Structure 1
Amino acid sequence: MSYEIEIGRAKRGRRAFSLDDIAIVPSRRTRDPEDVSTKWQIDAFTFDTPVIGAPMDSVMSPATAIALGQLGGLGVLNLEGLWTRYEDVQPVLDEIANLEVDLIDAAAKTNVTRKLQDLYSAPIQPELIRQRLKEIRDSGVVVAGSLTPQRTQEHYKTVLAAGVDIFVIRGTTVSAEHVSKNQEPLNLKQFIYELDVPVIVGGASGYTPALHLMRTGAAGVLVGFGGGATSTTRRALGINVPTATAISDVAAARRDYLDESGGRYVHVIADGGLGTSGDIVKALALGADAVMLGTALARADEAPGQGWHWGMEASHESVPRGDRVRVGRVGPMSELMFGPSHHSNGASNLMGMLRRSMATTGYSELKEFQRVDVLVNDSIGGR
């Protein structure tokens, strides 16, 4: 059966779906939410929640990575961000938070982009990489740090020497085979093989690129282009795969790679566009093992962005593909994760909402929940 539709006489394309197009179908069985487990394990590490804090400076500082770890999640620090460029980060964060706020005026938005480019032009300091990771490690939580593919070869030895537990290679689009006539590209398969720590890599948004990333030996694959609400990749580059279709395609690659490899399971991690508890629930139902959250966690009172949210794409020196967006604050991170919620829009008590959805559909484990029935309804929208 073909799911392609005719765009015009010369081009056909697949129909793809966003999370807003998908709804979960209740089943005949329900459970008590207290009987539901949200535990998730990758490699030797077990977490009480399937939540990973995105390596974005508006979301994860060493302090918030520690806080999320103590709440049962995994915080990933951006090792190319402000914390590894500045000894005293707070004045820089204050400056970003106080930039012009006219989001309609094009000149004001241009000034924000220029300022971000300027602030992120400061050099990365290896000593600060060691210092920030040590701060997280001394707290006793799992230590995770992120580099882009372009910077991995330059800094990975420093990261490993600092004692990272999980290494994340995150970019807008990461492939297992990068071709360049100008420089020696990162050989992901060789790189991962030589490391002693599990590697999570992405983004990938299709079956074939995800399958190739799984063949490199990665422990997890990030699904999406990264950035989510802050990303302008669709407008700037014309590249976009709706999240629901992307997760389902990559989950199919995981299934096929499990057979191909004789039983090696690679975790699928939805990354980007998961701003509410309902988005998280649907991502897991479509086959994700865990979710990487940016906007949802940027709303915490402790988030370093102070109610603003931006990604590394916004500060690219020549091809910026992101905005600084206002997300506001909804409460402490503990309330955001576990409630009690004072919001009816899915902005807080994220894990409580997940438990209730799983209980309503009769599932007690996350892996079982991937079998839940879903339906497609183009009229659902954001309701």
Structure 2
Amino acid sequence: MTNQIEIGRGKRGRMAYALDDVSVVPARRTRDPRDVSLQWQIDAFRFDMPVIGAPMDSVMSPATAIALGRLGGLGVLNLEGLWTRHEDPEPLLAEVAAMPDEPGSPAVTRRLQEIYSAPVQAELITRRLAEIREAGVTVAGSLTPQHTVEFYRTVLDAGVDLFVIRGTTVSAEHVSETQEPLDLKQFIYELDVPVIVGGAAGYTPALHLMRTGAAGVLVGFGGGASTTTRRSLGIRVPMATAIADIAEARRDYMDESGGRYVHVIADGGVGTSGDLVKALAMGADAVMLGAALARAEEAPGGGWHWGAEAAHHDLPRGHRTRVGQVAPLEELLWGPGHHTDGTSNLLGALKRAVSTSGYTELKDFQKVEVIVNPVSRS
């Protein structure tokens, strides 16, 4: 079977689906939501929920990473963000939040580029990660592939538990005629900590990333609601299809490797509880949340959301997006919810969806029936 369609006489392409295009089908047998376990484990680290805070300055500060860890999730600090470029980033965060509400404004973009032009300081990486470690939660930090070789030793010496290599698109084989590329397979092999790497949006790239020894693969291009990568580069793979493709790569890699399991983590496009449910139903083991957590009252963005792409020095491809402040972080995640649009009590909604489908474990929930409904978008 194939879902390829003819675009024109000289080009064919696969039909692909976004999370909005699919829905979970309830089962004949339902379960009590209180019986549902949302626990997720990667390597030796166990969490009470399959939620990772995206390494974006509008989402994760040392304080919010600690708060998310205490609530049962995993916060990942952006080690190339304001917290590692500036001794006191609070005034700059306040300035970004106070900028005019003008999406795509060249003046706003120029100021973001200026703020992020300060160099990353190794001593600040050490200090920020130490702050998280002292709180007694799992410590995770993120670097882009371009800066991994330069700063990874600092990150490891600081005592990180999980290391994230996150970029718009990350490949296992990067070819360059001007600089020595990062050999992911050799690099991950030599590390003593689990590595999560991405983004990837297709079967073959993800399979190659799994072969590097990564503990998890990020599905998507990062940035989510704040990115304009589709407009700038013409690159986009709808998330439902991307997750399903990479879940298949995970299954094939298990056969190839004799049973080694690599976690599939949806990264981008998961803005509401319904998106979270459908990402797991399509085969994800966990989700990396950006905009959904940027709505927390404690989020450093103050109701605004942006990614590193928005401040790229050469090719900015992201907006500073108004997401508002919905609720305190605990209420946003665990409830009780006071919003009807899927922006609060994300995990309560997940429990109810899993139980309505007849399951009590997230791994089993990946088997749930789904339907395609691209017309309704409801």
Shorter-chain-normalised TM-score: which range?
Answer: over 0.9
Measured in 1, the distance between the counterparts of 2:136 and 2:318 equals 34
Q: Within the alignment, does 1:379 sit opposite 2:375 as a pair?
A: yes
- State the partner residue of 1:266: 262
List gaps (5 residues or longer) in structure 2.
none
Matches within 5 A, 1:55-74: 55-74=55-74
Measured in 1, the distance between the counterparts of 2:312 and 2:98 equals 20
Q: Within the alignment, does 1:246 sit opposite 2:242 as a pair?
A: yes
- State the partner residue of 1:15: 15
- State the partner residue of 1:362: 358
Consecutive aligned runs of 4 or more in structure 1 exceeding 2 Å deviation: none
Measured in 2, the distance between the counterparts of 1:175 and 1:380 equals 35
Quick one: which of 171, 174, 184 aligns to 1:178? Answer: 174
After TM superposition, give the deviation of residue 380 of structure 1 in Å. 2.5
- State the partner residue of 1:99: 99
Task: Confirm or deny: 8 A CA contact 1:56 1:311 kept in the other structure.
Answer: yes
Matched position secondary structure for 2:277: helix
Q: Within the alignment, does 1:145 sit opposite 2:141 as a pair?
A: yes
1:148-195 deviation line (CA, Å, top 9, x unaligned): 000000000000000000000000000000000000000000000000
Matched position secondary structure for 2:275: helix
- Give the TM-score, by structure 1 length: 0.98
After TM superposition, give the deviation of residue 298 of structure 1 in Å. 0.1
Measured in 2, the distance between the counterparts of 1:231 and 1:288 equals 21
Q: Within the alignment, does 1:50 sit opposite 2:46 as a pair?
A: no
Measured in 2, the distance between the counterparts of 1:334 and 1:69 equals 11
Matches within 5 A, 1:54-203: 54-103=54-103, 109-203=105-199
- State the AA in 2 paired with 1:13: G
Measured in 2, the distance between the counterparts of 1:185 and 1:314 equals 25
Measured in 1, the distance between the counterparts of 2:316 and 2:326 equals 29
- Give the TM-score, by structure 2 length: 0.99
Task: Confirm or deny: 8 A CA contact 1:203 1:223 kept in the other structure.
Answer: yes
Matched position secondary structure for 1:269: strand
Measured in 1, the distance between the counterparts of 2:102 and 2:160 equals 40
Measured in 2, the distance between the counterparts of 1:155 and 1:209 equals 25
After TM superposition, give the deviation of residue 2 of structure 1 in Å. 2.0
1:41-96 deviation line (CA, Å, top 9, x unaligned): 00000000000000000000000000000000000000000000111111000110
Matched position secondary structure for 2:331: helix
Measured in 2, the distance between the counterparts of 1:201 and 1:169 equals 5
Measured in 1, the distance between the counterparts of 2:14 and 2:191 equals 38
- State the partner residue of 1:27: 27
Measured in 1, the distance between the counterparts of 2:376 and 2:111 equals 39
1:118-137 deviation line (CA, Å, top 9, x unaligned): 00000111000000000000
- State the partner residue of 1:204: 200
- State the partner residue of 1:317: 313
Measured in 2, the distance between the counterparts of 1:101 and 1:373 equals 41
Task: Confirm or deny: 8 A CA contact 1:4 1:14 kept in the other structure.
Answer: yes
- State the partner residue of 1:218: 214
1:225-261 deviation line (CA, Å, top 9, x unaligned): 0000000000000000000000000000000000000
1:272-312 deviation line (CA, Å, top 9, x unaligned): 01000000000000000000000000000000000000000
Using the aligned pairs only, state the percent identity: 73
Task: Confirm or deny: 8 A CA contact 1:22 1:380 kept in the other structure.
Answer: no
Matched position secondary structure for 2:41: strand
After TM superposition, give the deviation of residue 102 of structure 1 in Å. 3.0
- State the partner residue of 1:349: 345
After TM superposition, give the deviation of residue 378 of structure 1 in Å. 1.2
- State the partner residue of 2:227: 231
Aligned residues: 378
